[in-house]
Structure 1
């Protein structure tokens, strides 16, 4: 799983609930446990059961990631879910960097006799589940925000959408076709409501 996929997936745990509000997929330890299991390959975590401490740590990290996503989409507007409650950038950076540094790592090289070399990252000392999780998520966010895909990041501004997405083509304005449809319908209704009878 690419760093941008993991970082985006973390941010997208805040979503429209289908009823006009915002839902949080990480609202309980069980929700976090499910999410981690769904992303186990990208996280390098095989077995994980969340508790309230892990949930709080991941939610704090997610708030930092979403604040930095809002900065990344400037001068565009941030997601409507974040617009009034963004962390200050300095605090978001401090949270992200602290989480990434919580588990020091080393690069290892493996080069079997009849194969090409491969590298992998290994924790330099044992870490608890929660530290390993937040460090992996923070490193994915750092890699994404410092990488070339950051320039493709956009906030979807379709009615009721709170998602961030990567712009895949020059004319893309929304995260998915259903959001584009909602935006066009809303513009149509607004145009006909303001036209003189």
Structure 2
């Protein structure tokens, strides 16, 4: 899984709950366990049972990622879920860097017979699953935020949406078609309310 997918998946664990509020898919240990299980191979984590401290660390890292996403989409507005509670930029950067450094890693060269050389990054030692998880998420955030996809990052501003997304084509304004439909319906209601009130 590419860093863009992993870090976007982390940010999208904050979502609209369908009732006008915001839901947190990582609110408890079961939510984090399920989320990690779906991405175990990409995270390098197997047989993971999170403790309360790891849950809090991952949520703090997610808050840092969402703050950095809000900074990346400027001058556009951040997600409505983040607008009032963004971490300061320097704190968000510090949290992401600390997470990425949690497991020391070294680059390794591989050169299979008849193929091009490849570089991989391997952990030094045998990290525990908690450290491996936090480090993998931190590194994915660094890779995404310093890579070319950051320029395509947008916050969806459809009514009730709190998602970030990667803009796939020049006219894309929402994260998914249903958000576009909600935005058009809201504009329609606003126009008719303004017309009937005039």
- Normalised TM-score (structure 1): 0.96
How many correspondences in the alignment?
197
After superposition, residues 174-193 of structure 1 pair within 5 angstroms as: 174-193=174-193
Query: Could you say which residue in structure 1 is the equivalent of 2:62?
Result: 62
Partners in 2 of 1:83 and 1:139 — Cα distance? 25
Listed as ranges, the gaps of 5+ residues in structure 2 are: none
Whether the 8 Å CA contact 2:46–2:129 is kept in 1: the answer is no
Query: Could you say which residue in structure 2 is the equivalent of 1:11?
Result: 11
Query: Could you say which residue in structure 2 is the equivalent of 1:122?
Result: 122
Cα deviation for residue 114 of structure 1 reads 4.5
Supply the RMSD in Å over aligned alpha carbons: 1.2
Partners in 1 of 2:22 and 2:58 — Cα distance? 18
Whether the 8 Å CA contact 2:28–2:55 is kept in 1: the answer is yes
Query: Could you say which residue in structure 2 is the equivalent of 1:151?
Result: 151
Listed as ranges, the gaps of 5+ residues in structure 1 are: none
- Normalised TM-score (structure 2): 0.96
4+ runs deviating over 6 angstroms: none
Write the deviation string for residues 77-109 of structure 1: whole angstroms up to 9, x where unpaired: 000000000000000000000111111101112
Query: Could you say which residue in structure 1 is the equivalent of 2:110?
Result: 110
Query: Could you say which residue in structure 2 is the equivalent of 1:75?
Result: 75
Query: Could you say which residue in structure 1 is the equivalent of 2:162?
Result: 162
